[in-house]
């Protein structure tokens, strides 16, 4: 009979991100962690698919912190969305967000969120890409303008906050884990942690 390998749960946990949204999600697990921001070029490579893009960046962000946190479990994550066959990132401004949401009106937008769990001590890594589809209802320009002025979601892929007023923009949501829309797919992360031999529920405080 094969024995289950239990990983060293005394290794501290690091979130390789400065995103307040990812921190809030990870806090839900009630596992102590620290966080730091990796310095990674997030440019899309030529002919790179959305899944390859977010997987590469999630892995790169985790590995970017390995030398500074050599005794940690490190979580890296990245997200993008695809609209009309094109990768769409954070808008960064009202005008770009307005354009993005006008284009998304009445359409399905697929989000891809990559997550990587790295054991900095051994170099072993586990990774996954979580898809999630948002079906937008037909949006009036006045509605979009009002929404953007109220919530200002310019630091979010797709230009909305599903955990906030952005829920009013949707007709339906389709996917396994809505936390992936906020930037960190918790169900997938927990799967990776258990696969790596960790016991996340027993680590909760």
Containing 102, the helix (H) or strand (E) segment is helix 94-104
Cα–Cα distance, 98 to 118 (Å, whole number) = 37
User: In Å, what is the CA distance from 196 to each residue of 124, 159, 166?
Assistant: 9, 34, 35
Closest CA to 125 of 195, 22, 41, 23: 195
Name residue 83's beta-bridge partners: 86
Q: First and final CA of the chain: distance in angstroms?
A: 32
Per annotation, catalytic residue among 78, 84, 155, 191 = 78
Cα–Cα distance, 195 to 126 (Å, whole number) = 8
Written as six digits, the tokens of 18 are 């400065």
Q: At what angle do helices 141-151 and 94-104 cross, to 10 degrees?
A: 140
Decide if 84 is catalytic: no
Cα–Cα distance, 65 to 13 (Å, whole number) = 12
Active site residues per annotation: 78
């Amino acid at each position: 009979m094969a024995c289950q390998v239990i990983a060293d749960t005394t290794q501290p946990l690091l979130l390789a991100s400065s995103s307040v949204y990812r921190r809030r999600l990870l806090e839900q697990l009630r596992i102590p962690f620290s966080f730091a921001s990796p310095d990674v070029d997030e440019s899309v490579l030529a002919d790179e698919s959305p899944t390859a893009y977010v997987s590469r960046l999630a892995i790169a962000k985790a590995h970017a912190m390995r030398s500074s946190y050599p005794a940690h479990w490190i979580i890296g994550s990245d997200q993008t969305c695809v609209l009309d066959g094109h990768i769409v990132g954070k808008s960064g401004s009202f005008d770009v967000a307005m354009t993005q949401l006008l284009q998304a009106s009445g359409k399905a937008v697929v989000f891809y969120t990559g997550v990587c769990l790295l054991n900095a001590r051994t170099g072993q890594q586990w990774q996954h890409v979580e898809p999630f589809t948002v079906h937008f209802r037909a949006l009036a320009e006045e509605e979009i303008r009002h929404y953007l002025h109220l919530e200002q979601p310019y630091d979010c892929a797709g230009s909305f906050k599903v955990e906030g007023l952005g829920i009013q923009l949707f007709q339906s949501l389709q996917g396994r884990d809505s936390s992936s829309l906020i930037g960190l797919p918790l169900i997938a992360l927990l799967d990776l942690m258990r696969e790596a031999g960790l016991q996340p529920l027993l680590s909760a405080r």
